[in-house]
């Protein structure tokens, strides 16, 4: 069953002579529970793809359907609400709120909804991420790996339809990278999470079920990985 | 209250304590000024009520209220500029944070709410504090006002007196509260709306604040030769990061304009005060008048022979000079008369057919002196050929008559009177006592004797209070009044008390004006300081880049200093022309046609320029200290990790 559908997605920055085509008619679909790696050289358009799927940017043309919902038919605030309930974003630079504790950062999508998450679920995630004894710490008091784990927790908390991760290990050493990747895979298996990871690291890509290779704004290859 | 916007707002306030404090000071100042203005209006209304009674208070009420409205509007406008700048800085610091929030699904409303909560939290502390400070200012102001009004009470008869008291009014406090809250929320709302509009992706990339306009900026060669390469950089960064400097320039320019206007109002007031009894060397004025029909002396004239004994009696008091002047008013001269000069004709209103004339008699000793000065024999009629009036909007002293030893034909109550002129006095020779007594009539003739119904004795006595009571008893002896009669026959006036009163009134107004403008300038200063301190932090990356290509710490400091100097110059560039225009408009609004010549307040101008550069110096020092305080490379790293 397809949970994410991308149809003829196009994004052009600028106008006239200065126009740059970042994405040029990209189409693919992802099934629920699939772990997809998106690879490509820098400037190939993979970050743009992720921002479009995440709904933080609007495309020039094409459609993105998440869990049966065409997200760009939503107005800005409905899209924001849809995002906090259905999409989890993980960035290279963690992007935590420096003034909130680790726990509050993880709960952020719920807090924005004016709700409290199920404490059991929160405990389960904190345990999984190895942050149980760090819940009251501020991001500034955590290491890079711990901060990235907090941002993974923030993406997991609301059981999103899709988790989008943009170079989640790009800022970490190889040891920490491996443990972050293990976590992502674990969540993929344990919670049956759909995972879309953007990376230029081949080792990470090979852990996925499927690799999408992007170049010049188009999909060059779409191949399944043999485990 | 524990929604996420509230939590984030609280955290932001705690995060940057110094800026929170400075913003709070700005808010406290503007709230206190709004409270004080409302309070002064109430106190002013009550003061007038005690003087004129309930029946007439309405006119004064609306006057005070509209005055308070104008001042309040100025305060609110200045506050919005300054406070919204503080919030704009707070928003730009958190732009990336807003981007993160948006990407995890915060709506625009939620982003705006975090800013509005920030404003609300600040208001919770700053507004009550501001109201207390405002009440203190009101109390202090009314106390000073009452002190300065005290000399006035000496002059007001009939048991009335004017007192300025501190009046506590819930209504005025509620109005101040509502206005303050409105000002603060508007100040937060303006930048919040802008911050919330920025797309999440832009905020995450943090391109908005440091985005450089694509157009190449031109900086003049003059800047380069004057200030060197650092100067060029400074000029460029002022042009690029307009926002934070704009608020500083606006705040400074508004202060400059208001100070200039204050300076000119102050000098206008001083001139008005000085005009009263300005050239008369007397500290008392004893007056006889038979113009009141209720008085038993109605219509009685005081010719030379009747006035001379009184003059002598007054002069008998030790160490006292007396100048006696009797005025017989009510004469006119047709404007068709060939005797009138062109200068006089220019001062006439449209449709005016006659000009006023008076016959004047002075005490014997001074009459002889006048005749001698004019080179005429005692017993001559001497023309005082000097008048003052507006010629093409300028107050000018001129000769009203063409003197040729002619005979003037004056008329009074349709009866013609021939007055042969024997000699004239003009310019500096004119005795001011005579000139002043003529009460603005352009044609004055000193005659040996006439029938004055008004007689003035200008007295100058070493023992002022002694002479005042002596003159009172002397006049009572000459003009006994039936008991219970309240008709005006004579009065003895302490001239210095009149000038004292007007001086203290003008001092009162001056203190209030300068206090008001000074507070406004202070509000502006808080914004300047917070702008600079944030600027240094936000630009850490740029500074580091400059350092890494070899700019010295001194060079950086110079660049910052030049940025301050250039914004000060810019403020002067806007403030001085607008201020000068405002000064001229104030002059036109406050003076009657031709009353005074327009005088540009150069002294205030110099003070203002000095003040602006002093502020610049302080802020530059402050920025330099900031630069020294933090390790720039560390600042960059801390920025990276967010």
* Residues of chain A neighbouring B108 (CB-CB closer than 8 A): 76-77, 80
Contact at CB, A97 and B8, closer than 8 angstroms? yes
Residue of B493, B475, B438 lying closest to B325 (CA atoms): B438
- The gap from C-alpha B287 to its chain's centroid, in whole angstroms, comes to 35
Q: What DSSP line would sit under B340-353, residue for residue?
A: B-HHHHHHPPTT--
Range with the lowest mean pLDDT among B328-337, B469-478, B590-599? Answer: B590-599
Distances (CA, A) of A89 to A56, A86, B298, B479: 10, 10, 101, 103
A96 touches A147 (CB < 8 A)? yes
**Exposure letters B569-602 (e unless 16+ CB within 10 A, then b):** ebbbebbbeebbebbeebbeeebeebebeeeebe
pLDDT for position B447: 92
CB contact under 8 A, A85 and B15: no
The per-residue pLDDT for B310 is 92
* Chain A stretch 165-204, residues whose beta carbon is closer than 8 A to a beta carbon of chain B: none
Do β-strands A162-166 and A195-199 pair in parallel, antiparallel, or remain unpaired? parallel
Q: 0.90 exceeded by the pTM?
A: no
Question: What percent of chain B lies above the pLDDT cut of 70?
Answer: 83
pLDDT value of residue A223: 82
Using pLDDT thresholds of 50, 70 and 90, give the confidence band for residue B149: confident
Most confident of A122-136, B100-114, B177-191, B263-277: B177-191
pLDDT for residue B455: 92
Instruction: Tell me the per-residue pLDDT of B489-501, one tens digit each, with 9 for 90 and over.
Output: 888 888 777 777 7
Do B8 and A98 count as a contact with CB atoms less than 8 A apart? Answer: no
Closest CB to B102: pick one of A80, A87, A147.
A80
Confidence of residue B68 (pLDDT cuts 50, 70, 90): confident
Give the confidence band of B174 by pLDDT, cuts at 50, 70, 90. very high
ipTM above 0.85, yes or no: no
Q: What's phi and psi for B448, nearest 5 deg?
A: -60, -35
Query: CB–CB of A111 and B7 under 8 A?
Result: yes
Which residues of chain A does B193 touch, with a Cβ-Cβ cutoff of 8 Å?
A: none
Please name the residues between 24 and 53 in chain A that touch chain B, using a CB distance below 8 Å: 51
Nearest CA in chain A to B8: A99
- Residue A119's pLDDT is 85
CB A69 within 8 A of CB A16: no
Q: Using CB atoms within 10 Å of the CB of residue B330, give its burial: 0 to 12 exposed, 13 to 18 middle, 19+ buried.
A: middle
Q: What is the pLDDT of residue B270?
A: 73
A100 touches chain B (CB under 8 A): yes
Those residues whose C-beta lies under 8 Å from the C-beta of residue B385, and which sit 6 or more positions away, are B399, B400, B401, B403, B424, B425, B426
Closest among B314, B325, B251, B333 to B86, alpha carbons compared: B251
A57 CA: distance to closest CA in chain B (Å): 6
A48 burial type by CB count under 10 A (0-12 exposed, 13-18 middle, 19+ buried): buried
Query: B324 with B307: CB under 8 angstroms?
Result: yes
Question: What is the SS3 assignment for B490?
Answer: strand
Enter the tokens of residue B50.
């005690």
Q: Determine which of B8, B11, B100 to mutate to test the interface with A (most A C-beta atoms within 10 Å).
A: B100
* Helix, coil or strand: residue B627: helix
Taking any CB pair shorter than 8 Å as contact, residues of chain B touching chain A are 3-4, 7-8, 11-12, 14-15, 96-97, 99-110, 199-201, 204, 640-642
- Residue B500 CA to residue B35 CA, distance in Å, equals 31
* Distance of residue B205 Cα from the nearest chain A Cα, in angstroms: 11
Do residues B355 and B332 lie in contact, with contact meaning Cβ atoms separated by under 8 Å?
Answer: yes
Task: Kindly tell me if the per-residue pLDDT of B635 is higher than 60.
Answer: no
Q: Distance from A81 to chain B by nearest Cα, in Å? A: 5
Q: Which residue of A has its CA nearest to B94?
A: A97
Chain B interface mutation, best of A47, A78, A97, highest count of B Cβ atoms under 10 Å: A97
pLDDT at B283 over 90: no
**Most confident stretch, B63-72, B447-456, B512-521:** B447-456
Q: Is A93 on the interface with B (CB under 8 A)?
A: yes
Residue of B nearest to A93 (CA): B641
Q: B100: which chain A residues are within 8 Å (Cβ-Cβ)?
A: 95-97
Band (B214; pLDDT cuts 50, 70, 90): very low
How high is the pLDDT of residue B540? 67
Classify B388 as helix, strand or coil.
Answer: strand
B527, B80 contact by CB (below 8 A): no
pLDDT beyond 60 at B212? no
Closest CA to B583 of B599, B565, B606: B599
> What pLDDT was estimated at residue B636?
47
Say which residues have a Cβ less than 8 Å from residue B47's Cβ, sequence separation at least 6.
B145, B149, B162, B163, B164, B165
CA B585 remoteness from chain centre: 13
8 Å CB contact of B107 and A80: yes
Distances (CA, A) of B323 to B281, B283, B368, B470, B491: 10, 12, 12, 16, 16
From CA B453, how far away is CA B451, in angstroms rounded? 7
Q: Which of B106, B199, B641 sits opposite A112 (nearest CB)?
A: B106
Kindly state whether A84 is in contact with chain B, defined as any CB-CB distance less than 8 angstroms: yes
In contact, A196 and A4? CB cutoff 8 Å: yes
Q: Round to whole Å and give the CA distance between B33 and B515.
A: 10
Chosen from B10, B104, B114 to mutate, greatest number of chain A CBs within 10 A: B104
Residues of B in contact with A83 (CB under 8 A): 103-105
Nearest to A97 among B3, B100, B109 (CB): B100
Q: In angstroms, what CA-CA distances link A125 with A95, A151, B28, B360, B435?
A: 19, 11, 46, 107, 99
Burial class (CB in 10 A: 0-12, 13-18, 19+), A55: buried
* B102–A112 CB contact, under 8 Å: no
Phi, psi of A168 (to 5 degrees): -60, -20
Q: Average pLDDT over chain B, rounded to whole?
A: 80
* Cβ-contact B106, A80 below 8 angstroms: yes
Q: Does A99 touch chain B (CB under 8 A)?
A: yes
A165 dihedral zone (left: phi>0; alpha: psi -120 to 50; beta): beta
Task: For A80, name the nearest residue in chain B, comparing CA atoms only.
Answer: B105
Looking at residue A43, its pLDDT comes to 76
Q: Are A153 and A126 in contact (CB under 8 A)?
A: yes
- The verdict on a CB contact (< 8 Å) between B105 and A83 is yes
CA B160, B164, B168, B171 torsion-angle sign = positive
Helices (H) and strands (E) counted in chain B, each on its own, are 19, 12
Examine the pLDDT at B73 and tell me if it is beyond 50.
yes
Query: Inter-chain contact B3–A114, Cβ cutoff 8 Å?
Result: yes
pLDDT in the model for residue B391: 72
- Hey, how many other C-beta atoms are within 10 angstroms of the C-beta on B305? 8
Predicted local distance difference test score (pLDDT) of residue B630: 52
Residue B443 clears pLDDT 80, i.e. is over it:
yes
CA distances from B553 to A27, B559, B639 (A): 54, 10, 21
The size of the A-B interface in CB pairs under 8 A is: 83
Contacts of B297 (CB under 8 A, 6+ apart): B290, B479, B489
Q: Of residues B520 and B108, which shows the higher confidence score? A: B108
Structure confidence at residue B28 (pLDDT): 92
Tell me which residue has tokens 């101040």.
Answer: B176
Looking at mean pLDDT, say which of A8-17, B372-381, B431-440 comes out highest. B372-381
Inter-chain contact A112–B11, Cβ cutoff 8 Å? no
* Three-state SS annotation for B433-447: HHHHHCCCCCEEEEC
Band of residue B207 on the pLDDT scale cut at 50, 70, 90: very low
CA distance B206 to chain A (A): 12
Cα B627 to chain centroid, rounded: 40
- Are A51 and B107 an interchain contact pair (Cβ–Cβ within 8 Å)? no
Between B151-165, B369-383, B464-478, the lowest mean confidence (pLDDT) is in B151-165
- Stretches in chain A below the pLDDT threshold 50: none
Tokens of B134: 């405002």
Please answer yes or no on whether A104 and B97 come within 8 Å at the CB atom.
Answer: no
Bridge partners for B418 per DSSP: B409
- Range B342-354 average pLDDT: 82
> Own/partner pairs for B211-214, CB < 8 Å, 24+ apart?
B212/B240, B213/B240
Is A12 near chain B, with CB under 8 Å? no
Instruction: Supply angle C-alpha B468, B469, B473, rounded to 5.
Output: 120
* Among the ranges given (A96-100, B361-365, B467-471, B475-479), the one the predictor scored with the smallest mean pLDDT: A96-100
Beta-sheet pairing, B443-446 with B354-362: parallel
Residues of A in contact with B96 (CB under 8 A): 95
Query: In chain A, whose CA is at the least distance from the CA of B13?
Result: A99
- Residue of chain A whose alpha carbon sits nearest to that of B12: A99
Q: Could you tell me if B325 and B455 are in contact, meaning their C-beta atoms sit under 8 angstroms apart?
A: yes
Q: DSSP string spanning B398-450? A: E--B--SS-EEEEEETTEEEEEE--EEE-GGGS-HHHHHHTTT-SEEEE-S--
Closest CA to A184 of A202, A164, A200, A210: A164
pLDDT tens-digit profile of B223-277?
666 666 677 777 766 665 555 677 777 778 888 888 888 788 777 777 766 665 5
The SS3 assignment for B539 reads coil
Residue A199, CB-side half-sphere exposure with 13 Å CA sphere: 25
**Cα gap B527→B523, rounded to integer Å:** 7
Dihedral pair phi/psi, residue B528, rounded to 5°: -60, -45
């Amino acid at each position: 069953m397809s949970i994410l559908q991308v149809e003829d997605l196009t994004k052009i920055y600028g106008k006239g002579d200065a126009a740059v085509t970042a994405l040029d008619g990209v189409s693919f679909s992802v099934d629920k529970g699939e772990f997809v790696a998106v690879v490509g050289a820098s400037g190939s358009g993979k970050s743009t793809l992720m921002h479009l799927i995440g709904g933080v940017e609007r495309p020039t043309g094409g459609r993105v359907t998440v869990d049966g919902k065409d997200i760009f038919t939503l107005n800005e605030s409905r899209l924001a609400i849809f995002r906090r309930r259905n999409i989890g974003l993980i960035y290279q630079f963690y992007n935590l709120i420096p003034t909130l504790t680790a726990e509050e950062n993880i709960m952020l999508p719920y807090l924005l909804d004016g709700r409290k998450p199920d404490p059991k679920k929160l405990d389960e995630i904190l345990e999984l991420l190895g942050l149980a004894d760090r819940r009251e710490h501020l991001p500034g008091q955590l290491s890079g790996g711990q901060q990235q784990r907090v941002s993974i927790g923030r993406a997991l908390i609301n059981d999103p339809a899709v988790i989008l991760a943009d170079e989640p290990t790009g800022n970490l050493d190889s040891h920490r990278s491996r443990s972050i990747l293990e976590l992502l895979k674990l969540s993929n298996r344990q919670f049956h999470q759909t995972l879309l990871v953007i990376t230029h690291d081949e080792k990470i890509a090979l852990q996925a079920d499927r690799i999408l290779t992007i170049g010049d704004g188009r999909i060059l290859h779409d191949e399944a990985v043999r485990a | 209250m524990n929604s996420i916007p509230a939590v984030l707002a609280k955290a932001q306030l705690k995060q940057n304590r110094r800026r929170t404090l400075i913003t709070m000071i700005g808010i406290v100042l503007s709230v206190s000024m709004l409270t004080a203005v409302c309070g002064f209006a109430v106190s002013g209304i009550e003061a007038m009520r005690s003087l004129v009674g309930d029946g007439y208070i309405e006119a004064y009420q609306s006057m005070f209220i509209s005055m308070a409205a104008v001042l309040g509007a100025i305060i609110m406008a200045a506050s919005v500029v300054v406070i919204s700048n503080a919030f704009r800085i707070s928003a730009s610091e958190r732009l990336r944070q807003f981007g993160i929030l948006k990407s995890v699904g915060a709506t625009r409303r939620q982003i705006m709410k975090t800013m509005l909560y920030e404003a609300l939290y600040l208001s919770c502390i700053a507004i009550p504090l501001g109201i207390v400070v405002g009440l203190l200012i009101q109390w202090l102001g009314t106390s000073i006002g009452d002190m300065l009004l005290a000399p006035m009470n000496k002059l007001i008869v009939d048991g009335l007196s004017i007192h300025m008291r501190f009046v506590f009014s819930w209504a005025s406090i509620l109005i101040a509260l509502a206005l303050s809250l409105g000002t603060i929320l508007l100040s937060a709302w303006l930048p919040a709306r802008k911050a919330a509009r920025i797309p999440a992706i832009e905020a995450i990339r943090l391109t908005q604040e440091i985005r450089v306009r694509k157009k190449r900026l031109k900086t003049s060669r003059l800047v380069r030769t004057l200030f060197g390469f650092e100067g060029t950089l400074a000029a460029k960064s002022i042009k690029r990061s307009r926002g934070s400097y704009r608020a500083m320039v606006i705040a400074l320019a508004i202060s400059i304009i208001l100070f200039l206007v204050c300076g000119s109002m102050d000098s206008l007031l001083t001139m008005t005060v000085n005009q009263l009894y300005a050239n008369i060397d007397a500290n008392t004025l004893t007056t006889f008048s038979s113009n009141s029909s209720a008085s038993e002396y109605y219509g009685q004239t005081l010719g030379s022979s009747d006035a001379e004994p009184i003059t002598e009696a007054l002069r008998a008091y030790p160490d006292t000079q007396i100048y006696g002047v009797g005025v017989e008013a009510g004469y006119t001269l047709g404007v068709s008369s060939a005797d009138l000069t062109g200068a006089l004709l220019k001062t006439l209103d449209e449709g005016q057919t006659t000009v006023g004339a008076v016959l004047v008699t002075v005490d014997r000793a001074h009459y002889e002196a006048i005749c001698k000065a004019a080179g005429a024999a005692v017993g001559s009629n001497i023309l005082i050929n000097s008048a003052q009036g507006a010629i093409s909007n300028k107050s000018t002293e001129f000769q009203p008559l063409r003197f040729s030893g002619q005979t003037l034909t004056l008329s009074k109550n349709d009866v013609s009177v021939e007055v042969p002129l024997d000699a004239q006095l003009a310019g500096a020779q004119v005795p001011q006592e005579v000139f002043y007594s003529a009460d603005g009539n352009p044609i004055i003739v000193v005659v040996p004797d006439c029938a004055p119904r008004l007689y003035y004795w200008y007295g100058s006595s070493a023992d002022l209070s002694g002479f005042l009571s002596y003159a009172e008893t002397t006049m009572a002896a000459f003009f006994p009044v039936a008991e219970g009669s309240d008709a005006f026959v004579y009065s003895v006036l302490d001239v210095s008390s009149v000038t004292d009163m007007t001086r203290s009134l003008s001092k009162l107004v001056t203190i209030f004006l300068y206090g008001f403008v000074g507070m406004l300038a202070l509000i502006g200063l808080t914004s300047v300081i917070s702008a600079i301190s944030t600027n240094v932090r936000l630009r850490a990356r740029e500074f580091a880049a400059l350092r890494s290509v070899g700019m010295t710490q001194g060079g950086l400091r110079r660049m910052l200093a030049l940025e301050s100097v250039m914004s000060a110059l810019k403020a002067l560039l806007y403030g001085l022309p607008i201020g000068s225009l405002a000064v001229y408009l104030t002059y036109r609004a406050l003076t009657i046609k031709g009353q005074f010549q327009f005088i540009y307040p150069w002294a205030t101008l110099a003070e203002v320029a000095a003040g602006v550069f002093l502020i610049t110096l302080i802020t530059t020092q402050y920025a330099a200290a900031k630069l020294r305080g933090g390790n720039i490379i560390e600042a960059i790293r801390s920025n990276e990790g967010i």
